[in-house]
Every structure is written in structure tokens, then in C-alpha cells.
Amino acid sequence: MKLTRTKSFKAFAEPAWTNNPINMQMLGICSALAVTIQLKTAFVMTLAMIFVITGSSLIISLMRKIIPGNIRIIVELGVIASLVILTDEFLRAYYYEISRLLSVFVGLIITNCIILGRTEGFAMSNPPHLAVMDGLGNGAGYGSVLLSVAFLRELFGSGSIFGYFVIPQSFYDAGYENMGFMLLAPAAFIIIGLMAWLQKYITGTGEEDR
């Protein structure tokens, strides 16, 4: 069987591209607006998100047969919240500057509906290896959008990439100016909107096909 036909690959690729949580399902927009002013914060947020979503999918999937149905949502939230707090504590101990930049947004990963959606919708009914692939796929899908938006916002808003200035001084001398608008939340909204449109155009899916 070809790699691209395996169930695991499908579990990974579907959320990462064809059913991207941000561009296609319009989930997790709030944090995507907030942490994409700089690539650095977007990158750390992506790693934190991948860790939390993969970890919680794995744990929930391992326990899926013993979790009582009537309290499953609260169990899922408990696992997610604990992983988020662990991430936050870790960042504050080892990457203090970045954790200051991300401020409340690491903690708010708990409220990111992508994670609860995947644990409830996928991990509760699938074996661990598929749940992990699904978690990684969603993390990658979320992260790729985050990083693309952050790339555009940092490049046009601050003239830098990962904090390194890339627009030559001669451009500024010739009258080029950084776009202040890129640093504001509405800019992220517009970029995400354009990206969602682009992806729907490429994959050929639209609202009417659903």
C-alpha cells in the first residue's frame, strides 16, 4: 500500500491541508489574530499548540474505553487544561521573554475549540496512533496558517523576519514605509480571509459543495 493511502497519512493530511482548522473550518481564529504580529511568538505558539493537541489526543485516545460517557467532556477539558498549564509553566521557567510576549495566549490554548473538537470528535473514537496523527495534522494545519500570517505581518509591518531586518535601508531612503496597519488585529483578519479564499480556490471546495 502506498504511504499516501494509509489511514495514518489520511488522518494527518486531511486536517493539515484539505480540512485545515483555520482556513476551512474557521476555528481558532482568536489566537491566530493575537500572536501573529511576530514570527517568533507565532512559532512558539505553534509548538505549544502541537504539543497540547497531540498530547491530549493521545491521552484521550488511550483512555477512550474507560472514560465514562456522561463526564467525557469534562475529562477531555481536564487533560487539555493540565497540558496547557504544564506548557505555560515550562515556558515561564525556560523561555521567560517569549512567555511574556505571549502573555495570556498560552493559557487561552485551553479555549481553542480545535483541541476540544479533535479530542471529542476524533480521539474518543479512534486508536492512539491515528489520534496522534490527527493531532499532529491539526497542529501542523493550525501552525502553517499561523506562520504564514505572521510572516506577512512581520515582513510588511515591521520589515523583519524572525526579528532580523530584511528590508534594505535604501528602500526606506527611497520613501518606503512599514505598514502600521499590519500590526493591528484587523490585518490578520484580512490575511486569513484571503488565505481561506485562496485555499478554497485551489482545492475547489466552496460553501455550496458542503
Partner 1 sequence: MSDMAKSIVFAVCMCIVLALLLTTAATALQPRQQQNMEINRKKNVLLAVDLVSRDQRYTAEEITALYNEKIVLFGATQTGAIVEGDRVNDEPVLPIYLYIENGTIQAYIVPIETKGVWGMISGYLAIENDGSTVRGFTITRHSETPGLGGEIERQWFQENFEGKRIIDRHGTFVSVRVARGEVERQVPEEDRPHYVDGISGATLTGKLLSDGLKQVLYRYEPISIRFRDNRIEMPAG
Phi and psi dihedrals of 179, rounded to 5?
A: -85, 105
Phi and psi dihedrals of 68, rounded to 5?
A: -65, 135
Q: Is residue 149 within 8 Å of 191, Cβ to Cβ? A: yes
Q: Which is nearer to partner 1, 96 or 197 (CB)?
A: 96
Residues binding partner 1: number (CB under 8 A) = 24
Neighbours of 172 (CB within 10 A): 13
| CA 148 to the chain's CA centroid | 11
Q: Which is nearer to partner 1, 65 or 210 (CB)?
A: 65
Question: Which of 6, 7, 26, 96 touches partner 1 by CB under 8 A?
Answer: 96
Q: Which is nearer to partner 1, 32 or 140 (CB)?
A: 32
Could you tell me the three cell numbers for 66?
Answer: 474507560
Question: Which of 6, 7, 26, 71 touches partner 1 by CB under 8 A?
Answer: 71
Measured CA to CA, the distance from residue 180 to residue 158 in angstroms comes to 8
Question: Which of 62, 75, 108, 196 touches partner 1 by CB under 8 A?
Answer: 75
Instruction: State in angstroms the smallest separation of the CB of 165 from partner 1.
Output: 11
SS3 of residue 161 by DSSP: strand
Binding site for partner 1 (CB under 8 A): 34, 66-68, 70-71, 74-75, 78-79, 82, 85-86, 89-90, 92-94, 96, 100, 103-104, 184-185
